[in-house]
Amino acid sequence: PEVKIKQEALLSDDFLQEALGWDAIAHRYPIPLPKALAEHKFHRHYIHSLYGGNQQDVFVTPSADKVAWHGVDDFSFLSLDYNPHAPTRPGYSGLYFSSSRAEEPEFARLRRVFVRTRKTPAEWMYMGQYRFEAGMSLTGEKWRQQKEKVRRSWAEGLRGQRWGESILLRVWFRREHGAGYEPTKEEASDAAGRIAAIRAQISAEDIIGAFDRGEEVGSPSSVLSACNALNEFTVRLPGDDHVQDDLPGI
């Protein structure tokens, strides 16, 4: 499929080879479906209307009533804006990046992965069921090896996007209290409530500097490995035990 990726967010080939490994790069999980069906695109609102959940979240948790009805609570939605190495075809491997220092609890199980392959109008493609496995982080040394435009693009995203707020706050706390400062839970909670004001005080250069000095370890990656795609690939409608032969219009 035609996929548009933000070039200034792409990390170096050397990092990708080390983070993914040749086995994952070369692996293609077989998808026994016609291409037109396998690469069908959806509007996210359509998926939301069937299964529920917040339309802005990466890891979607539908309401208990919705889950009781359709039994599905393992969706994940990855945007290529700051996950430029996510799978772009069903069954391909890829990387997911998180600003969290700890492994996310959602990674402990298989997840149904959608990737936004087009921004305007927004279109999402179902890639299949994937296992998220803890991968390597972008250390200070590997960060400094990236192109200047790549580092700036990521720094601006971390500064301006909700998913970067934890790093933004850590940079701010160190600036206010000195290197190595760890805020209490109360301080962190209070600062989170003032995120707009704090964001105005921190520049992209501040974030770049934190990574350059090794104070931050960039975006722990998770390797996405396709599995069970043969049995779980095609979208099923809630309450329907049969695979849809003809996907409904969007």
Helices (H), the chain: 13-20, 22-26, 35-38, 44-51, 64-70, 140-144, 148-160, 165-177, 185-192, 195-201, 204-212, 229-232
Question: 75: exposed, middle or buried (C-beta count within 10 Å: 0-12, 13-18, 19+)?
Answer: buried
Cis amide leading into 34 (omega within 30) = no
Which pLDDT does position 155 carry in this prediction? 94
Which pLDDT does position 36 carry in this prediction? 84
In this prediction, residues 103-110 reach a mean pLDDT of 62
User: Residue 2 in contact with residue 123, Cβ under 8 Å?
Assistant: no
Helices 148-160 and 165-177: angle between axes, nearest 10 degrees:
90
pLDDT in tens, 75-104: 999 999 888 999 998 988 888 887 765 455
Supply the DSSP symbol for 96: E
User: Residue 107 in contact with residue 132, Cβ under 8 Å?
Assistant: yes
Buried b (16+ CB within 10 A) or exposed e, 184-207: eeeeeeebeeeeeebbeebebebb
pLDDT at 245 over 70: no
Task: Give the list of residues 6+ apart from residue 103 with CB closer than 8 angstroms, or none.
Answer: 134, 220
pLDDT in tens, 139-190: 889 999 999 999 999 999 999 998 899 999 999 999 999 988 989 999 999 9
- List C-alpha distances in Å: 154 to 8, 58, 163, 219: 9, 18, 12, 10
Confidence of residue 224 (pLDDT cuts 50, 70, 90): low
pTM over 0.95: no
In this prediction, residues 10-37 reach a mean pLDDT of 84
